[in-house]
Structure 1
Amino acid sequence: MGPQDILKGTIFSATTIIGLCGNTVALIFLLQVAHNEKKMMTNEVILCSLAVSNLTLLFTLGLPHSLFVFTVKYFHTDLDCQVDLYLLRVSRVMAIGLTCLLSCFQCTVLASSSHSCWTALKAWIQRYLGWIIIFLVLTSMASSINSALFPVISTNLTNLPYTFNLGYCFVIYPDKLSFELIGFVAFARDAVLVILMALASSYILFILFRHEKQMKGKRSSDRNQDKSAERQAAKTLVTLVVLYVFFFGIDNVVWFYQISKSNEINHFVTNLRLFVTFCFPSLFPFIIIFFNQKLRDKMTCSGNK
């Protein structure tokens, strides 16, 4: 094993371990808060679901990739690869869908004071949240079924241009048409969710900005309190969306280039895409913990015991 492999393995392993620990801690404390309050708010249900999706993605992508770099054999049959990559794609789509749902719900919460239709939409999301999440799960499973069709544990890469070499698994597309079609459909699906997420987040920022202008006539103490809450919400929103769009952009620009311009898939570029894919799940819990007052208070109380 060369120095480059050791460095890559260390980076992948550290990112994976940090993400697994962070999402586990965030999930545990979210559940503890819900247990203490005898209820779970809508955004907390979405955050818990998102933490589970992140954990699944890290277990199916970050962990096997990190172990492979250190020559640990993680899979033994084609079925192992197929199940792993299928769960990987499902969890990734779920993460995007749940983040989009969170942005849309927060948008309805802030906008509900300005129009009755937003209030009705907020109530509808709260009432049917479980069914919405189930719909996202089923949609993610159905749209990711192609991920279970082509992975194998080992292969002869000679004259197989449309092949992703993950090291521990190979994804072999039979021809250029299937390679490009599956790639473009996945790109379009993810792009729609990210655009919707960005639009909802932009509207939230607009509402916060408009509300801040309206608060200028209030007393100084009230205005400062409101401004503090608005800044807190805006920071959480902007941080999550900017990070997601940033990582999504890198991931899909590289992916788009691979499916449209290149017949031979570069192993380094594939590694870059894989690393970027689980950067956001690794950072997500720390953003949530940093901006969520209830989680910080719960963690502080647990630390003082």
Structure 2
Amino acid sequence: MSLIKHILNFQTVFGVLANMSLLFFYTVINLAHRFKPMDLISCQLTFIHIVMVLVGGDLWLTDLFESLNFENDFKCKATFYISRVMRGLSICLTCLLSVFQAVTISPNTSLLAKFKHKLKTYTTNAFFYIWSFNLSFTSICIFYVVGFTNVTESNQMKVTKYCSLFSMNYITRSLILTVTVFRDVFLVGVMLTTSAYMVIILFRHQRQCKHLHSISHMRASPEKRATQTILLLVVFFVVMYWVDFIISSTSVLLWKYDPVILTVQKFMMNAYPTITPLVQISSDRRIINILKSLWSMCHPIS
């Protein structure tokens, strides 16, 4: 387990550094310009991923609470609440990013074209509803999370080394499960639908370009690169999400705590927020230009 813990700690440090670097690049890029709606979504998603990696890795939160002499019960509730809110925000904003890009690249003759001129307003409103829903809905669950005790109770399931989950009544459990599953399935469905739509547009665009230019002289436009990046992120997110969902559902159904399963789940939950900034940095031409400029400054040609 010590090796696995070291791997998780390395993943946490690497994920935080990668996301902080991405956030720094977005700040530099937009200092002299207004934030574009796409960058606003990406910045929020990057911040959320920083918190997700920190809380999921459990590298700093335990030491922080212990240094402040917080009770174990408060630590469990805070960690659980933050992690669930960030998880919900991650899937919502990833879906919003996919929808935004689909509208952006849609042809002027499509039904989505009429939303282009109001994208900024719609995005701002979406931020308000997304944050409000996730902050309020997740608050219901914290009443059932408590600090773990050695007292054996049939209605208490140990979910981490220090925390446990009390069983809920049928109505509450059904309500939370129904809303969560509906939200996640709906958002994943929207992401897959918009992804398929973007693939069709890219395919049509590429086919048209072949008639106008030779393939050897074709260069990917910024919109095409951004679309390909988002498609890659959506596919990766969907895969990681369903793996995490299966692991979580298995633990709840069996009503059993397994340290190995919990460790695997933490690793899978942190995989997406760790890989995302690397994909965005490597595919954003603006960031690549900044890196080239920094490299030129540090290594001037003599």
What is aligned with 1:190?
A: 184
Asked if 1:163 corresponds to 2:168, the answer is no
TM-score computed with the length of structure 1 as normaliser: 0.86
Asked if 1:19 corresponds to 2:10, the answer is no
What is aligned with 1:252?
A: 245
What is aligned with 1:134?
A: 128
TM-score computed with the length of structure 2 as normaliser: 0.87
What is aligned with 1:232?
A: 225
Q: How does 1:52-131 map to 2 (within 5 A)?
A: 52-64=47-59, 76-77=70-71, 78-115=73-110, 117-131=111-125
What is aligned with 1:297?
A: 289
What is aligned with 1:35?
A: 31
CA contact (8 A) 2:16 2:53 kept: yes
CA contact (8 A) 1:161 1:264 kept: no
CA contact (8 A) 2:54 2:61 kept: no
Task: List alignment gaps of at least 5 residues for structure 2.
Answer: 298-302
Give how far 1:278 is off.
Answer: 1.5
**Structure 1 residues 230 and 80 mapped into 2: Cα distance closer, same or farther (>3 Å)?**
closer
Deviations 1:58-95 (A, max 9, x none): 2222134x886x9x957731223212211211111111
**Structure 1 residues 160 and 8 mapped into 2: Cα distance closer, same or farther (>3 Å)?**
farther
Counterpart Cα distance in 2 of 1:167 and 1:42 = 41
Q: What amino acid is the match of 1:240?
A: L
2:254 counterpart SS class: coil
Counterpart Cα distance in 1 of 2:296 and 2:172 = 57
Counterpart Cα distance in 2 of 1:258 and 1:221 = 51
User: Deviation above 6 Å: which 4+ runs of structure 1?
Assistant: none
What is aligned with 2:261?
A: 269
Tell me the number of residue pairs that the alignment of Structure 1 and Structure 2 aligns. 294
What is aligned with 1:219?
A: 213
Counterpart Cα distance in 2 of 1:47 and 1:213 = 30
1:167 counterpart SS class: coil
Counterpart Cα distance in 2 of 1:141 and 1:28 = 26
Greater Cα shift, 268-277 or 101-110: 268-277
Counterpart Cα distance in 2 of 1:231 and 1:267 = 43
Give how far 1:193 is off.
Answer: 1.1
Greater Cα shift, 201-210 or 155-164: 155-164
1:225 counterpart SS class: coil
Task: List alignment gaps of at least 5 residues for structure 1.
Answer: none
Asked if 1:285 corresponds to 2:277, the answer is yes
**Structure 1 residues 160 and 113 mapped into 2: Cα distance closer, same or farther (>3 Å)?**
same
What is aligned with 1:207?
A: 201
Deviations 1:221-275 (A, max 9, x none): 796125x76763454133211210110010112223333x423243322222222
Asked if 1:144 corresponds to 2:138, the answer is yes
CA contact (8 A) 1:162 1:265 kept: no
**Structure 1 residues 231 and 106 mapped into 2: Cα distance closer, same or farther (>3 Å)?**
closer
CA contact (8 A) 2:18 2:274 kept: yes
Identity among equivalent positions (%) equals 22
Counterpart Cα distance in 2 of 1:56 and 1:143 = 19
Q: What amino acid is the match of 2:30?
A: A
Counterpart Cα distance in 1 of 2:106 and 2:117 = 12
Give how far 1:103 is off.
Answer: 0.2
